[in-house]
Structure 1
C-alpha cells in the first residue's frame, strides 16, 4: 500500500467513505500511518460524505459537521441522515449544515422517514420558507407525502419538518431562514408562546412569520418567569391565527420594521388567564357590548405593547374575527400614523370606534387609503355615513371603501356616501 501513488489511495479512500454504516472513515484512515494521514487531510474528496444519526450527541454531530465541511471545502458534499428515534431531532441535526446549503449535493434520510433528493444546482437562492407542522408524536414520525426539501418554484425550495414540539434553542445554531410558517395539526398539541419566542430567537433574519394553532388557554400565569423579548429587526409581515397566545406573542416581539400585521380567528368566548397587569388593563370605560371580552383585551394589550416597544411603520392591519376594546382601537389609531389599509371582519366594535376616524383638529390614520368593514353589525349606517363623509371632505387619501354585510349600512347610505366620495365603494361581495 505504501507504494501506491496518492491519486490511487484517494480513489480507494473515497469509495470507503460512502458507507453510512461507517461514518468516521476519514478519521479512522488518518490513524493508520503518517502517509495516510497526509493523504486524507490534503484531499477534500475524502470528506464529501457526511453521515449523521440521532443516536449521537448533538455536540458530537456539530463537531463532525464542522470538521467535514472545513476539510471538504471548496467541494460540494452529500448528507445522509438516519433518524431512528424522533423526528424532533431532524432540525437540530441539520442546523449546523444550513449555512453551507450552496454546497449540498445530495440528501438522503433513513429510519423513520425514507427519502432521497438531489439538491445540486437547485439551491441558488437557498431554502425558504421553513414549514413546521406540529403533530402528535406518531404522526410527526410519519410526516406526510411532502419531502423534507420540496420545490415551490424553479430554484426555490422549502424545508418541511414534522415535530411534536419545537426544538429548544440550545439544540440549534442560528438559522438564516427569512420565512417561517408554523402550524398545529392536532388538538393535543399545545405550543406555548415561550417555545415559539425561543425558537424565533434562532431566526434573526426573519422577514415573515406565520403561526396557526388551536384555541388553548396559552397565556402564562402570573407566577411564571418573564417571557423573553425577541428582537427581529428584519421582520416585515406577521400573521397570527387561531391562538390564545396573541398577547404574549405581540408583547414580546420587537419588530421595528414591521409593515403588515394579520390577525385571524382570535376571538374566543371564554376568559383568558391574565399575566401581570400592565397600563391599559383596566376595564374599558366605553363599556361596549362584546361576545369575546377576554380575547378582545388580550389582542388589544398585545398590540399596545408591540406599538410601544417597536413603533413599527405598520401599513396593513388586517383583523378577521379578531377584535379589541374601544380603548385599544383608540390607542392603536393614535399610534398608526403610517397605516394605509385597515380591514376588520366580524367585529363587535361600536359607533365609538368609527367616530375615532372623524376629523377634528387632526386626522387619525392620516395615510389611510383603504378601509374595509365586513359583517360589523353593531355599527349604525348613519354614523358610518357621517364620519366618512366628513373625512373625505378634508382629506383625499381615502380611495377604496368596502362596507359589506353591515346590517346598519343600507343602499340609501351608500348612495349618499357616493355623492361625496370620489373613490371606489364596494357594498356587496359574492363569497364571504
Structure 2
C-alpha cells in the first residue's frame, strides 16, 4: 500500500509539472486559436497580435502563421516610430486583405512617409478609416487616395473643423474626396463623422450606404443646413441606406431648405434613419423614395409634450409622393396627431412592424388595426413604449380580432399579430399583459439586437418584470399556455 501511495504521489507531481501542457488552450488547433485572435483584433484590440505572441510558443505559432490576424493595420501618428511599426505589420500580413486605420491628430513629418507605405498596398485595402482633429489634414490624406483599389468596400472619416482650418485653407468643405476613390468599384459604405457637410458632388457615386454623424463641435459651431444634406443625397443615385444622427441633446442651428418645391429622387433608397432634432424631419418633404422599406424617425432631444406638426406633415408628404412599400415604421420620442396617424396607417398596406416610443396615440387610432380587414393588413409586430393614452383592453381587443377568420379572404385580410411589446404604458395593466400572452407572444424586455433604448437606458423595467414573474409564478410551473418574454 505504501508503494502505491508513493507511485501516486510521483504521478501527481508529474501531472502538476506538465499541467500547462494539457490545457485546452494548448490542445486547441492553431487555426481555431487564430480565429479567436482575429475576433479580438476586429473588436478593436489593436496591439493584440504582439501581446498574444508573447504568451507561449503555441500562441506565437498561431499568430505568426496566420496573416489575417495582422490584417488590421492600426497606425497612430502619436505613437513611437510609426514608420517601422507600419512596415512590420504589413510584412506580417503578407498578402491578406488589409483594414487600414489611420489616426493623425498631430503635425508630423512622418505622416507622408507612412501614407506612401500604406498606399503602396492600396490594391489590398478592404476598408480604410481616417481619424483627425483637423479638417485640413483629413483633406490632405484623402486627396492622396487616387490609386486603384479593386477590393475597397468601406471608408470611414472622423474629423472636425477648427479655426486653423478656416484660416489656412479658407474652407469648411470636406473636399478631399475630389477625384479620390474613383477607382474603387466595390466601395459601398461611407461613414462621415464631422460637422462639415459641404461635400456637394464629391462623394463617390458608387456609395450605397451613407451614415452621417454630426458630433458636438469642440471650437467652431457650424449651422446645420438642410440644403447641404439634400445636395449630398442628390449626388448619390445608387444610395440604398441613409443614416443621419446627432448626439443626445445636441441641437445646432438648423437652416431648412428654402425652396419648398424642391424634390430629389432616390430611386434605390430602401432604409432611412433620422436621429435629429424634430425640425430636421422637414427634410422628408423633399425626398421621393419609391422603394423605401424601413423608416426610423428618432428625436435626439427630450420628448415634446405635444405632437410635432412638421414631422407629421412631412411624413404624410413623403408617403403621398413616394407611395413606398414601408415594412418598418419607428417613431421614437416624436409624436403625431391622431389625424396624422390615421392618414399614415391608412396607406401603409405593406407595414409589418410598428414601433412607438413616448406616443399619445389614442385607442380610436389603434382600433383601426382591428381585423379581419383593418388598416395595415400585413402588420405582425407591435412595439409600444411609454404610450400614455393607450389602454390594455383596446390592445387585447385588436390582437384578438386579427385572429378571427375572414369569411371572404382577400389581399386585405388582416394577418395575426405575432408579437406585442408593451413597456411602461400606464393604462396597460397586469391582467391585460396576461391576456395578451394567451393569444400571442407578449414581450416586456428589450430586443436582443438593434434596440435603441438599450443605449438610452429608458426602458429597463426590471422590478416590474420581477414582480409579475413572482405574482403569477411564471417559470415555476404555475402558469400554462402563456407566451410571455420576461
Considering the TM-score relative to the shorter chain, is it more than 0.5?
yes
1:229 aligns with 2:263: yes
Deviation at 1:244, TM superposition (A): 3.3
Q: Aligned residue for 2:423?
A: 404
- Inter-partner Cα distance in structure 2 for 1:349 and 1:316: 17
Deviation at 1:138, TM superposition (A): 5.5
- Inter-partner Cα distance in structure 1 for 2:215 and 2:293: 28
Deviations, residues 364-410 of structure 1 (Å, cap 9, x unaligned): 11001111111212212222222222233344432111112211111
Check the 8 A contact 2:203/2:232 in 1, yes or no: no
Deviation at 1:354, TM superposition (A): 1.4
CA RMSD of aligned residues (A): 4.2
Q: Aligned residue for 2:380?
A: 369
Deviation at 1:246, TM superposition (A): 3.8
Q: Aligned residue for 1:167?
A: 198
Question: Closer, same or farther in 2 for the Cα pair 1:189/1:393, shift >3 Å?
Answer: farther
1:348 aligns with 2:360: yes
Check the 8 A contact 1:401/1:424 in 2, yes or no: yes
Deviations, residues 126-164 of structure 1 (Å, cap 9, x unaligned): 4435657665556999x9xxxx99xxxxx9896565654
- Inter-partner Cα distance in structure 1 for 2:192 and 2:433: 49
Q: Aligned residue for 2:207?
A: 177
Deviation at 1:326, TM superposition (A): 0.7
Deviation at 1:215, TM superposition (A): 3.2
- Inter-partner Cα distance in structure 2 for 1:192 and 1:120: 29
Check the 8 A contact 2:210/2:242 in 1, yes or no: yes
SS at match of 2:404: helix
Question: Closer, same or farther in 2 for the Cα pair 1:377/1:346, shift >3 Å?
Answer: same
- Aligned pairs for 1:245-260 within 5 A: 245-260=279-294
Q: Aligned residue for 2:441?
A: 424
Deviation at 1:226, TM superposition (A): 3.2
Check the 8 A contact 1:351/1:383 in 2, yes or no: yes
More strand by share: 1
| 192-201 or 115-124, larger mean C-alpha shift | 115-124
- Greater RCO (Cα-Cα under 8 Å, separation 6 or more): 1
Deviations, residues 45-81 of structure 1 (Å, cap 9, x unaligned): xxxxxxxxxxxxxxxxxxxxxxxxxxxxxxxxxxxxx
Question: Closer, same or farther in 2 for the Cα pair 1:383/1:304, shift >3 Å?
Answer: same
Equivalenced residues, count: 296
In structure 1, stretches of 5+ residues that fail to align are 1-100, 150-154, 270-289
Question: Closer, same or farther in 2 for the Cα pair 1:406/1:189, shift >3 Å?
Answer: same
1:291 aligns with 2:288: no
Q: Aligned residue for 1:128?
A: 154
In structure 2, stretches of 5+ residues that fail to align are 1-121, 181-185, 406-413, 447-453, 460-486
* TM-score, structure 1 normalization: 0.58
Check the 8 A contact 1:405/1:428 in 2, yes or no: no
Question: Closer, same or farther in 2 for the Cα pair 1:398/1:238, shift >3 Å?
Answer: same
Check the 8 A contact 2:245/2:275 in 1, yes or no: yes
1:383 aligns with 2:394: yes
Q: Aligned residue for 2:324?
A: 312
Q: Aligned residue for 1:328?
A: 340
